[in-house]
Structure 1
Amino acid sequence: MNVGLYFGSFNPIHIGHLIIANYMAEHSDLDQVWFVVTPHSPFKKKRSLLDNYDRLEMVHLAIKDYPKLNFSDIEFNLPQPNYTIDTLVYLQEKHPKHQFSLIMGEDNLKSLHKWKNYEMILENHPIYVYPRISDTKASPALKGHNNIHFIDAPIMELSSTYIRQAIKNGKNVQPMLPQHVWKYLEDMNFYRD
């Protein structure tokens, strides 16, 4: 099985995430897309994150009606901070019959050379790249790599940061979130202060 791994803090998961993941599951050779909820990215400040299990629950609520989408808390039990290569090695050992691929925006591809053991990732794992509106384009060397696949997915410029700020400012963000996620956020009174 070819599984696309969509890493993120999903703080919160929003319709942009769902659109990208579903597009990858339906319009590429990926059999499934797994949302890998990251407890702490080396590039993000931890204090702005909701609890790991609240974010995992929101992902679960968001994808429950999508049979090709799944979620994983695999990084919750790995050493912190999490590095993608360590997660990939662990998943490959746990699921030896799966081919694990990465899903990322083109802006992230530009910084791939800064990742721990990025050469090993490039050599062993296909990377599915979706477009972003950005001046940061991938280097020509990466664009020509056999394991990098550009997917003509819809451009989604919605961000979790924007949603958190809008909620804090008392704005209605309901159209930007899966219905179950919006209700969960309302019930839990998250991001209000």
Structure 2
Amino acid sequence: MGKPWAAPGQVIGLLGGSFDPPHPGHVHLSLEALKRLRLDQLWWLVSPGNPIKPNPPAPLPARMAAARAVMQHPKVRITDLEADLGTTATVDTLAALQRVYPKLRFIWLMGADNLAQLHLWDRWPEIMHQVPVAVFARPGQRLPALTSKAAQRFARQRLRRGRAPVLGHLAPPAWLYLDMPMRDDSSTALRQREKGRAIRAE
């Protein structure tokens, strides 16, 4: 698909992942991000593959179609930008997006579970220096996230949640943790349930 368009100066939230499969939890986070961060747009970056996961995801066209079926909002774009840019690591994706869209302001969005394991990501400190980051609560993940290596290393750059509306206009490193109504949706759990149904049907 073609690259999404945005006007210069707009604040764009980036939600990356395998989306294998996409689920209401992704939608819930997206709607909260649009509201709390006052985003002009939010782009789902449906990845070709996840370099830190051992098993390959479902084919990209199938995940793109599923994402479009689940997430329907005028400010949300479902993209395969990583496939188009030829990147898989988040740090490379962000660098490429900043080259392609030098006049846009990006915020990286993640669940608390991702912050808890951010130190496993390729060149993860660079991510914090590339764009502001908004971390959203996930069930049972507050303590692991806020005591994680990433949270400790960038503790002085953590903002109070009241600054969420201006996060996209701040120079990185800058990040904040946002509580929100909890959902237990998980792509991993959905895949496991689907696998269980398939086994029982045999």
Please tell me the TM-score bracket, short chain as reference.
Answer: 0.7 to 0.9
Q: Which amino acid aligns with 1:59?
A: A
Question: Any idea what SS the aligned residue of 2:197 has?
Answer: coil
| Equivalent residue runs for 1:1-193 within 5 Å | 1-47=10-56, 49-64=57-72, 66-79=73-86, 82-132=88-138, 133-134=140-141, 135-138=143-146, 139-146=151-158, 147-170=174-197
Which runs of 4 or more aligned residues in structure 1 lie more than 4 Å from their structure 2 counterparts after TM superposition?
none
8 A contact 1:20–1:154 mirrored in 2: no
8 A contact 1:31–1:68 mirrored in 2: yes
CA distance in 1, matches of 2:47, 2:97: 14
8 A contact 2:112–2:135 mirrored in 1: yes
**Could you tell me how far 1:118 is from its partner in structure 2?**
2.6
Question: Any idea what SS the aligned residue of 1:35 has?
Answer: strand
Moved more, 70-79 or 89-98: 70-79
CA distance in 2, matches of 1:126, 1:98: 13
Q: Which amino acid aligns with 1:41?
A: N
Q: Which amino acid aligns with 1:149?
A: L
Question: Any idea what SS the aligned residue of 2:34 has?
Answer: helix
Deviation digits for residues 5-58 of structure 1, max 9, x if unmatched? Answer: 1111111101111001111011223222111001111111233x1101110111
8 A contact 2:95–2:130 mirrored in 1: no
Question: Any idea what SS the aligned residue of 1:44 has?
Answer: coil
Question: Any idea what SS the aligned residue of 2:110 has?
Answer: strand
The number of equivalent residue pairs is: 170
8 A contact 1:22–1:69 mirrored in 2: no
Identity over aligned pairs, percent: 31
User: Would the alpha carbon gap of residues 117 and 140 (structure 1) be closer, same or farther in structure 2, given more than 3 Å must change?
Assistant: closer
CA distance in 2, matches of 1:104, 1:167: 25
CA distance in 2, matches of 1:113, 1:163: 26
CA distance in 1, matches of 2:134, 2:41: 13
Q: CA RMSD in A?
A: 2.2
CA distance in 2, matches of 1:144, 1:154: 26
**Which residue in 2 is equivalent to 1:185?**
none
Specify every segment of 5 or more residues in structure 2 that has no aligned partner in the other structure, as ranges: 1-9, 159-173
TM-score (norm 2): 0.75
